[in-house]
Amino acid sequence: MATLLNEVEDLGSKLEFARAELLAEYRAAHDFPWIIGFSGGKDSTLVAQLVFEMLLDLPPSARTRPVHIVANDTLVEAPLIARHLDAMLERMRSVVPALRLPVTVVKTSPKIDQTFWVNLIGRGYPSPSRSFRWCTDRMKIQPTSHYIRSTIDETGQAILLLGVRRQESATRAMSVNRYSNGERLNPHNSLAGCLVFRPIVEFSTDEVWQVLLQRRPPWGGSHRQLVTLYRNAAGGECPLVLDKDDAPSCGTSSSRFGCWTCTVIVKDHSMEGFIGTGNEHLEPLMDFRDWLAEIRQDAEMRMARRRTGARSHLADGSLIPGPFTFEARRMILDRLIKVQAEVGEPLISESEIQQIHSIWADDATRLARAAEEPKV
């Protein structure tokens, strides 16, 4: 069914239209599950709230379509954001049985051998930059895409609900236009069997906040903490990323909050905002992030060869440095553990440290064998 979202202007009409679209799609003849990409930010929170309200308006016998609320934890989220997200997910889980909702709440995370610290400290990957942003795929795209693909394998198809808005940014508007076919559902760019549904695509930022501030969340509590986070961080959340074409949403120059380790950005304005509004204990995190960005430019901290053993050169013949040296990796780990103790926040797990030491041992063995091989 062709949509007319761009012809809807006032908030009341937009809200009524979004609700009608959600209900019509939920009542469609097929029974493909819904998956809500949930970041804990304002846009995905509004989508989740509209879906909860729609389900509650239906009699329990009509709530036949399963709904999955899927959040992603990179394991290096800003501590205040991580706590906010966990609290919201727990509240949702706690009310689902009593409200008789067909809702499953899930949090994905990268595999232990693909976490930020295992790659950076274990394998020596340089801290991410715009030219080598290795983190997004491993920490965001792969974990959530795996969950979606598993759901598709079980049901044949799935519908992904995203809090994407045309007015969010010029890049987002281009993405919406590129992948919109004039229908309610659009095929996902890279996930076969996944259809994308954007119920609030034409809402403005002010309209999103207006709806949230006028309505209490169906899972209890209020949106007060969410408002406070945005006010203190002076920015917005890094959204759920499921496609490399969406990767620019990570590490943009805007004041987004996401991974506290993000070295793609020049300055972490959101962390500065948190620190400036009473969270001074987080200042060592910002200092550590700045240091990670700084040392990747230090040639003495980097190996001459890549992990494959090959040397890489630019067009002018200059050497492209490889991973961090063993000494640099040990230095990073030691400093990280000290920062963890200083801020009183969990920054790296024991299982990650074990994985790091295992990689170091394998690398040392591999390099020793390579050194013993006769030079041709």
Band of residue 372 on the pLDDT scale cut at 50, 70, 90: confident
pLDDT (0 to 100) of residue 63: 97
Whole-number pLDDT of residue 4: 46
Q: Across the chain, what does the average pLDDT equal?
A: 88
Say whether pLDDT at 261 is over 90.
yes
Burial environment of residue 19 by CB neighbours within 10 A (0 to 12, 13 to 18, 19 or more): middle
pLDDT of residue 173: 43
Q: 3-state DSSP call for residue 77?
A: strand
Categorize the per-residue pLDDT at 67 as very low, low, confident or very high, splitting at 50, 70 and 90. very high
Q: Encode pLDDT of 264-291 as tens digits.
A: 998 888 899 999 999 999 999 999 999 9
Q: Is 231 helix (H, G, I), strand (E, B) or coil?
A: helix
Tokens representing residue 18 in the block: 């979004």
Q: What is the pLDDT of residues 6-26, one digit of tens each?
A: 445 699 999 999 999 999 999
Looking at domain 5-276, its CATH class is alpha beta
Nearby residues of 72 by Cβ (< 8 Å), 6 or more positions away? 39, 107, 108, 109, 139, 140, 143, 144, 240
Is the predicted pLDDT of residue 368 greater than 90, yes or no? no
- How does pLDDT run across 116-151, given as a tens digit for each residue? 999 999 999 999 999 899 999 999 999 999 999 999
Q: Are strands 185-187 and 194-197 parallel, antiparallel or unpaired?
A: antiparallel
Give 128's contacts (C-beta < 8 A, 6+ positions apart). 134, 135, 251, 262, 263, 264
Which of 299, 350, 324, 343 shows the shortest CA–CA distance to 82? 343
pLDDT at 367: 80
Sequence ranges of the domains in the chain: 5-276
Task: Please state the pTM of the whole predicted model.
Answer: 0.86
Q: Is the pLDDT of residue 370 over 80?
A: no
pLDDT value at 373 more than 80: no
